[in-house]
Protein backbone atom coordinates (compact mmCIF):
# COMPACT_ATOMS: atom_id res chain seq x y z
CA UNK A 1 0.00 0.00 0.00
CA UNK A 2 1.37 3.42 -0.89
CA UNK A 3 -0.10 6.48 0.78
CA UNK A 4 0.11 9.79 -1.06
CA UNK A 5 0.50 12.03 1.95
CA UNK A 6 3.04 12.44 4.70
CA UNK A 7 1.39 10.90 7.72
CA UNK A 8 2.34 10.86 11.36
CA UNK A 9 3.90 7.68 12.64
CA UNK A 10 3.50 6.56 16.20
CA UNK A 11 6.57 6.48 18.39
CA UNK A 12 6.20 2.69 18.59
CA UNK A 13 6.67 2.31 14.85
CA UNK A 14 10.11 1.73 13.40
CA UNK A 15 10.31 4.25 10.59
CA UNK A 16 12.85 5.18 7.96
CA UNK A 17 12.74 8.72 6.69
CA UNK A 18 14.61 10.74 4.13
CA UNK A 19 15.58 13.84 6.06
CA UNK A 20 16.73 16.54 3.71
CA UNK A 21 16.84 20.28 3.38
CA UNK A 22 14.37 21.96 1.10
CA UNK A 23 15.94 23.44 -2.04
CA UNK A 24 12.84 22.94 -4.21
CA UNK A 25 10.40 25.25 -2.45
CA UNK A 26 8.38 22.58 -0.67
CA UNK A 27 7.07 23.09 2.84
CA UNK A 28 10.07 22.56 5.08
CA UNK A 29 9.16 19.36 6.91
CA UNK A 30 12.76 18.16 6.71
CA UNK A 31 11.35 14.78 5.62
CA UNK A 32 10.20 13.85 2.12
CA UNK A 33 8.96 10.34 2.81
CA UNK A 34 8.58 7.75 5.54
CA UNK A 35 8.55 3.98 5.46
CA UNK A 36 6.84 2.20 8.33
CA UNK A 37 8.23 -1.26 9.10
CA UNK A 38 5.19 -1.97 11.25
CA UNK A 39 2.62 -1.42 8.49
CA UNK A 40 4.87 -1.93 5.42
CA UNK A 41 3.66 1.43 4.16
CA UNK A 42 5.46 4.18 2.26
CA UNK A 43 4.15 7.65 3.06
CA UNK A 44 4.83 10.32 0.45
CA UNK A 45 4.08 14.03 0.48
CA UNK A 46 0.89 15.18 -1.19
CA UNK A 47 2.80 16.96 -3.97
CA UNK A 48 4.85 13.86 -4.86
CA UNK A 49 4.87 13.32 -8.62
CA UNK A 50 5.62 10.20 -10.64
CA UNK A 51 6.62 12.58 -13.45
CA UNK A 52 9.62 13.88 -11.49
CA UNK A 53 12.79 11.75 -11.50
CA UNK A 54 13.77 13.31 -8.16
CA UNK A 55 10.40 12.43 -6.63
CA UNK A 56 10.55 8.89 -7.99
CA UNK A 57 14.02 8.59 -6.44
CA UNK A 58 12.38 9.21 -3.07
CA UNK A 59 10.08 6.25 -3.71
CA UNK A 60 13.06 4.14 -4.84
CA UNK A 61 14.78 4.98 -1.54
CA UNK A 62 11.74 3.99 0.51
CA UNK A 63 11.16 0.79 -1.49
CA UNK A 64 14.67 -0.30 -0.52
CA UNK A 65 13.54 0.00 3.11
CA UNK A 66 10.49 -2.08 2.24
CA UNK A 67 12.70 -4.82 0.76
CA UNK A 68 14.96 -4.66 3.83
CA UNK A 69 11.92 -5.02 6.06
CA UNK A 70 10.48 -7.94 4.09
CA UNK A 71 13.86 -9.69 4.20
CA UNK A 72 14.03 -9.16 7.99
CA UNK A 73 17.48 -7.62 7.69
CA UNK A 74 19.15 -6.42 10.87
CA UNK A 75 21.60 -3.55 11.08
CA UNK A 76 24.04 -2.41 13.73
CA UNK A 77 22.07 0.85 13.93
CA UNK A 78 19.14 2.34 11.96
CA UNK A 79 21.49 4.61 10.01
CA UNK A 80 23.24 1.61 8.46
CA UNK A 81 20.03 0.65 6.65
CA UNK A 82 20.26 3.96 4.81
CA UNK A 83 23.44 3.02 2.90
CA UNK A 84 21.74 0.78 0.37
CA UNK A 85 18.73 3.10 0.12
CA UNK A 86 20.90 6.12 -0.70
CA UNK A 87 22.96 4.04 -3.14
CA UNK A 88 19.83 3.00 -5.05
CA UNK A 89 18.52 6.55 -5.01
CA UNK A 90 21.86 7.92 -6.22
CA UNK A 91 21.92 5.43 -9.12
CA UNK A 92 18.36 6.29 -10.10
CA UNK A 93 19.16 10.00 -10.14
CA UNK A 94 22.38 9.37 -12.09
CA UNK A 95 20.35 7.79 -14.91
CA UNK A 96 18.61 11.17 -15.30
CA UNK A 97 21.80 13.23 -15.10
CA UNK A 98 21.03 14.60 -11.64
CA UNK A 99 22.25 13.78 -8.14
CA UNK A 100 21.47 13.93 -4.44
CA UNK A 101 23.32 17.20 -4.03
CA UNK A 102 21.57 19.07 -6.84
CA UNK A 103 18.09 17.76 -6.03
CA UNK A 104 18.17 17.43 -2.24
CA UNK A 105 21.18 19.45 -1.13
CA UNK A 106 22.75 16.23 0.20
CA UNK A 107 26.51 16.34 -0.20
CA UNK A 108 28.66 13.19 0.17
CA UNK A 109 29.74 14.09 3.73
CA UNK A 110 26.12 14.45 4.86
CA UNK A 111 25.25 11.08 3.33
CA UNK A 112 28.28 9.55 5.06
CA UNK A 113 27.16 10.90 8.42
CA UNK A 114 23.57 9.74 7.89
CA UNK A 115 24.57 6.21 6.91
CA UNK A 116 26.97 5.24 9.71
CA UNK A 117 26.71 4.42 13.39
CA UNK A 118 28.38 7.06 15.53
CA UNK A 119 27.75 5.86 19.07
Torsion of CA 53, 3, 17, 97, to 10 degrees: 0
Predicted pLDDT at 27? 42
Taking residues 41-62, report their average pLDDT. 96
Predicted pLDDT at 21? 39
Q: Per the structure, how many domains does the chain have?
A: 1
Query: Does residue 96 contact residue 51 with C-beta atoms inside 8 Å?
Result: no
- CA–CA separation, 25 and 32 (whole Å): 12
pTM: predicted TM-score of the whole model, two decimal places: 0.77
Domain that holds residue 15: 2-114
Does 74 have pLDDT greater than 90? yes
Of 21, 97, 83, whose CA–CA distance to 54 is shortest? Answer: 97
Q: Is residue 119 part of a domain?
A: no
Neighbours of 33 (CB within 10 A): 21
The model's confidence at residue 96, banded by pLDDT at 50, 70 and 90, is very high
Does 10 have pLDDT greater than 60? no
- CA–CA separation, 11 and 9 (whole Å): 6
- CA–CA separation, 45 and 116 (whole Å): 26
Q: Is residue 9 part of a domain?
A: yes
Q: Is residue 51 part of a domain?
A: yes
Amino acid sequence: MIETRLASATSAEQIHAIEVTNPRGRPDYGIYAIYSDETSTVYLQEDWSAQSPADVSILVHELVHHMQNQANLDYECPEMSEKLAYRAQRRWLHDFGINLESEFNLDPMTVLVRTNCWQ
